[in-house]
Structure 1
Amino acid sequence: MTRIHCWRVSLINSFLIFRMVLSSITPAVSYSTYRAPYHPSSDPTRFPAIPDYYIVKLREGHELEDHFAYIGLDLSSMQEFGRIDGLSSYYGKFSYKVVHEKIRRDPGVLYVEEDTPVHLID
């Protein structure tokens, strides 16, 4: 074997090893083409959305832990996060990118809506 041939074999092997390592460290998140419906505030003049706050409704049987595993983020560790018990929902402050590129891609999400202030009438 010539020196050049050995160098080529070594380079090819290095490339193959690099591809194997790279494929093993890519996220296990499977991004589908699904996008959960997004509902902006129905009356932005009377009920303006709270910037970057959203309510996420999960499908029946889709657990929060499954959702976090799918999107690759544990949102419950964020300071402004809360569960809505009994409704398979949660709310919190999330970036536009997290909402539209991660949360809405999970087929277990029924819909995402902007959070708005609630006004009680006396």
Structure 2
Amino acid sequence: MTVTTMTPAQLERFEARLLAERAEAAERAAEFDDVMGEVRAARSGASADDEHDPEGPTMTQEWSQRTAVLADVQHELAEIDRALARIADGTYGFCARCGKRITVARLDARPTATLCIDCARLER
């Protein structure tokens, strides 16, 4: 395991930011979960004519869009949790591919980054 060379203040700053982002994402997930319940209830009570309603989106469209947004929020939560785990185990800020330091500027832009900018460019 690689030992972090970030200062304790930097690590605390990133941890606080990640925890704040996690709280916001968890709140969005809870809201979408509530909305998904409403869509699920409406979908189960929908008549066959709903799928052919020219006035608006079908329940299938609503379900698909909201499911995608919820999946995105859940993915965001997982990325944040993995970043917090890396802070806890001392590997935060190191590239998962080459082992080099990820710059603080990159982590400021994307605190869940697992790759340095050079390795991230190779991923494209």
TM-score, shorter chain, exceeding 0.5: no
Greater relative contact order (Cα < 8 A, sep 6+): 1
- Report the TM range for the smaller structure's normalisation: under 0.3
Give the strand-richer structure, 1 or 2: 1
Give the helix-richer structure, 1 or 2: 2
